[in-house]
Amino acid sequence: MKNDSKHIVLGVTGSIAAYKSAELVRLLKKRGWNVSVIMTQAATRFVGELTFRTLSRNPVAIDMFDVPDEWCPEHISMADRADAILIAPCTANVIAKVAHGLADDLLSATVLAAGSPVIIAPAMNGRMWDNPATQANIQLLKSRGISIVDVESGELACGCQGQGRMASVETILRTLDLVLRKKRLASSH
């Protein structure tokens, strides 16, 4: 993909896989892209806000009720300037919120306000991934045009083997590139 400047909003949720998101930010910045990070409260228990602020060279948004830098509400301004919203890792909880249009935190409200493509890279325990509720939510998201990066199999943080691991950073970036290419082609017609 051409190195044209993009603005990616990266949502980070409360999963042990959140540490991989730091590498995503680093690689997106290496492309010369602007990255705005939104962390859920649960994500801050796994990786510190300072990590993402340093790597993105931007403030990190966490609380929907923080005073914004400008008049426009943060979830609207983030959604407006995003070329894409990428949630990596995305927990079963946030998948359910997005699938059902809940907007009770900054990340879910931003996704609900988004006019740009949304990409979700799930990460969770294998039983949670296989749960019929999670699978129904994934199908609902796909039917609404949200791109899902397939989970990987292997050793999970809980020590079990199975599906549910967040895809590799390289796989997530390839999916993001594909989604942005489709967006560009659609807008040129």
- Structural domains present in the chain: 7-187 (3.40.50.1950)
What pLDDT is attached to residue 188?
74
Residue 83: both structure tokens together: 């070329």
Whether 160 is a known active-site residue: answer no
In three-state secondary structure terms, 163 is strand
Which residue has better confidence, 142 or 61? 142
Is residue 89 scored above 90 in pLDDT? yes
Determine which of 25-34, 56-65, 74-83, 129-138 has the lowest per-residue pLDDT on average: 74-83
Mean pLDDT of 55-82: 72
What pLDDT is attached to residue 1?
41
Calculate the dihedral angle through the C-alpha atoms of 27, 33, 34, 35, rounding to the nearest 10 degrees.
-30
Q: Specify burial of residue 27 (Cβ count, 10 A radius: 0-12, 13-18, 19+).
A: middle
* Catalytic-labelled residue, pool 72, 90, 158, 160: 158
Is residue 46 scored above 80 in pLDDT? yes
Determine which of 63-67, 79-83, 113-117, 168-172 has the lowest per-residue pLDDT on average: 63-67
Residue 36: both structure tokens together: 């705005």
What pLDDT is attached to residue 76?
65
Residue 105: CB partners within 8 Å, gap ≥ 6?
Answer: 40, 41, 64, 97
pTM: 0.91
Q: Specify burial of residue 71 (Cβ count, 10 A radius: 0-12, 13-18, 19+).
A: exposed
